[in-house]
């Protein structure tokens, strides 16, 4: 059998205690009626993949430089959220494009923002060598997101397992299903509601913008041509506007270099904390969608509560991540357990 090992993690945090707990089903039909949206169960498997593979690879693959580490942590957390809102939690964002079809990961919305897929692929290779056909790529990504939150100072939480992998990944479906950085509050609310998530959970999950970096092109309209009016977004704090314009200068043609990026939350860009909400309160939210959280009394009140109550927000974030991880899952005989995360079997 495959033993469960404990392992030390950054800042003496045990990354979710164990990578693959007894909540990873190891065979059998765990499907609820209907097949696709089956219930994920926390039950003891007959065989357990050794859990040291993914956490060690998370650290080995990203700890050489702190910036690389943060880029990968953001990839995992945001890829998991993106996947949940797009196809459901079926690992489709990990699939590579084929000559006949462009995949989700190559959409302009995701590329070049999402990187580090090779670390997930390496973890999957190790898991397959230990216990082939047991852990899906969707579950690997779920556990990686959990561990990434913990490794950067966020809460530790349990993740039910038993997802299976999808076989379809279409670039054309990304734009219509993923919340854009230009979304208004109503658009954000509708986008999350379509996946069974409340407005309160949307505000809670927006706090993931506390970590990582964003490309200047994703918000440059706020700096130079907001609403196609040839001026900056008036809701951006003046000092913050000057800072962003220095970091993201416009060329002679008015375009911004697509390779330039800035921290999502500059005070602690490598830490999972509530300073994102303080930034929004000070009109220093990076995206239009960030600042939109202040456009209604209920969501503005929640932003203030999250800013002042970092620990309660982290608990709510963990609960929202678990709920999001059960959106339109494949279980039972639906989908497959991919041997390689980048390609269908």
Q: Is 104 marked as a binding-site residue?
A: yes
Q: Is 209 marked as a binding-site residue?
A: yes
Could you tell me how far CA 314 lies from the centroid of its own chain? 15
Any residues with CB less than 8 A from the CB of 170 and at least 6 apart, and which? 101, 102, 103, 104
Q: Taking Cα atoms as reference points, which of 52, 113, 55, 124 lies closest to residue 81?
A: 113
Any residues with CB less than 8 A from the CB of 296 and at least 6 apart, and which? 185
Q: Is 152 marked as a binding-site residue?
A: no
Any residues with CB less than 8 A from the CB of 290 and at least 6 apart, and which? 181, 206, 209, 276, 279, 280
Residue 61, H or E segment: helix 53-62
Q: Is 210 marked as a binding-site residue?
A: yes
Phi-psi group of 257: left, alpha or beta (phi > 0 → left; psi -120 to 50 → alpha; rest → beta): beta
**Distance, CA of 25 to CA of 211 (rounded, Å):** 31
82-92 core/surface letters (b: 16 or more CB in 10 A; e: else): bbbbbbbbbbb
Active site residue 30: no
Q: Is 92 marked as a binding-site residue?
A: yes
Catalytic residue among 50, 78, 222, 284: 78
**What sections of 266-345 are H helices per DSSP?**
275-281, 288-291, 297-308, 310-324
Q: Is 268 marked as a binding-site residue?
A: yes
Which string of DSSP letters, residue by residue, matches 116-161? -HHHHHHHHHHHHHHSTTTS-HHHHHHHHHHHHHHHTT-------B
The residue ranges of DSSP E strands in the chain, in sequence order, are 213-215, 261-263
Any residues with CB less than 8 A from the CB of 17 and at least 6 apart, and which? 6, 156
Phi-psi group of 27: left, alpha or beta (phi > 0 → left; psi -120 to 50 → alpha; rest → beta): left
**Distance, CA of 89 to CA of 80 (rounded, Å):** 8
Cβ–Cβ contacts within 10 Å for residue 98, how many? Answer: 11
Q: Is 101 marked as a binding-site residue?
A: no
Known binding-site residues for substrate equal 179
Known binding-site residues for heme b equal 209
Known binding-site residues for Ca(2+) equal 88, 90, 92, 104, 210, 268, 273
Residues labelled as active-site residues: 78
Known binding-site residues equal 88, 90, 92, 104, 179, 209-210, 268, 273
């Amino acid at each position: 059998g495959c033993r469960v090992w404990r392992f030390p993690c950054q800042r003496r945090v045990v990354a979710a205690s164990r990578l693959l707990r007894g909540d990873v089903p190891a065979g059998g039909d765990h499907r609820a009626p209907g097949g696709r949206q089956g219930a994920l169960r926390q039950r003891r498997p007959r065989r357990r993949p050794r859990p040291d593979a993914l956490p060690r690879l998370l650290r080995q693959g990203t700890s050489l430089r702190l910036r690389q580490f943060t880029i990968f942590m953001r990839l995992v957390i945001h890829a998991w959220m993106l996947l949940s809102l797009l196809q459901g939690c079926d690992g489709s964002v990990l699939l590579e494009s084929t000559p006949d079809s462009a995949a989700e990961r190559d959409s302009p919305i995701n590329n070049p923002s999402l990187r580090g897929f090779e670390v997930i692929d390496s973890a999957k290779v190790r898991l397959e060598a230990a216990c082939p056909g047991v852990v899906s790529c969707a579950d690997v990504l779920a556990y990686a997101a959990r561990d990434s939150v913990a490794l950067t100072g966020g809460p530790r939480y349990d993740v039910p397992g038993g997802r299976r992998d999808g076989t379809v990944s279409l670039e054309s479906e990304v734009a219509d299903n993923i919340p854009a950085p230009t979304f208004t509050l109503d658009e954000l609310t509708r986008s999350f509601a379509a996946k069974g998530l409340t407005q309160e959970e949307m505000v809670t999950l927006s706090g993931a913008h506390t970590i990582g970096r964003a490309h200047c092109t994703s918000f440059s309209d706020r700096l130079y041509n907001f609403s196609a009016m040839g001026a900056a977004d008036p809701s951006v704090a003046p000092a913050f506007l000057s800072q962003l314009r220095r970091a993201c200068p416009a060329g002679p043609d008015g375009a911004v270099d697509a390779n330039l990026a800035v921290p999502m939350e500059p005070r602690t860009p490598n830490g999972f904390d509530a300073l994102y909400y303080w930034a929004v309160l000070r009109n220093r939210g990076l995206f239009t969608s960030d600042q939109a959280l202040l456009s209604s009394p209920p969501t503005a009140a929640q932003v203030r509560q999250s800013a002042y109550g970092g620990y309660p927000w982290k608990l709510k974030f963990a609960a929202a991540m678990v709920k999001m991880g059960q959106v339109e899952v494949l279980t039972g005989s639906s989908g497959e357990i991919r041997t390689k995360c980048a390609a269908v079997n």
